[in-house]
Structure 1
């Protein structure tokens, strides 16, 4: 049995964001977008393509992944009443806090890829206080993201 340290995971039990599940039309194309545009590492993509797992993920950091859930699985979501209807994007947006250099790199990648981005917002409140700048964009499936930096 592998321990958490061999998996590169945090071993303390403090509360953290583990994963976010995003509904997507094409998990492989979505993984490609997140890898090339946001620099996220694909997880279980080969296994998904081989039919061994029902969805792939992309790694945001050592502690957090985004699961790329195929919309075709929505009808099977029975964990709580109404879960299948969550495929209609009830989440307003997901915010990524980045170092200033990565923030600039992300915006440049999005613009190079012809992904529409919003104007900059300034001095927005968030988990770490007031963010200096932020902007919004959508992934290929219409999920809205905010990118921000605090420094």
Structure 2
């Protein structure tokens, strides 16, 4: 937990995925799910609970986050006309690529917590080509997450 702003400070201009924002009902509960069930450490959670920042995040890797945006923030979404209307409209799904051991551990943690998971599929296409294995699950807010493993 806590501030880790020193991570991810890259100076090159390579295009990368920085973050994905998911709408959630309870950011603390969502952070707990992503930490305990998915294995992603929280970022700025203490600062959020202390009222210092508007939302917490969970860290995917040194360069990427999932922001856990409370629905109550919708009225402050003024960066584009109509941006507030996106509240409650989840993306189709996000996908986490994991090493084989972490993929297996994730599935086991989800099953231990009785989180419904899909069957495992093989060969679905992604950023690095066909995946060895993949499956889907939902977070407590209904956002769909795919977990995949490449050889």
Distance 2:64 2:13 in 1: 14
Match of 2:24 in 1: 24
Deviations 1:55-109 (A, max 9, x none): 1111110000111100111122111122112122241000111111111110010
Match of 1:14 in 2: 14
Distance 1:88 1:8 in 2: 30
Number of residues paired by the alignment?
146
Question: 3-state DSSP class of the match of 1:108?
Answer: helix
Shift of 1:39: 1.4
Q: TM-score, normalised on structure 2? A: 0.92
Match of 2:46 in 1: 46
1:32-111 aligned within 5 A: 32-111=32-111
Shift of 1:8: 2.9
Q: TM-score, normalised on structure 1? A: 0.92
Deviations 1:18-77 (A, max 9, x none): 011110111111111111111111111111111111111111100001111001111221
Distance 2:90 2:41 in 1: 26
* Structural RMSD (CA): 1.2
Misfit runs of 4+, over 6 Å: none
Distance 2:150 2:39 in 1: 19
Contact preservation (8 Å) 1:94, 1:144: yes
Distance 1:90 1:40 in 2: 20
Distance 2:90 2:24 in 1: 14
Distance 1:90 1:59 in 2: 19
Distance 2:7 2:65 in 1: 13
> Which has the larger share of helix?
1
Please identify, of 6-15 and 117-126, the stretch whose mean Cα deviation from structure 2 is larger: 6-15
Match of 1:123 in 2: 123
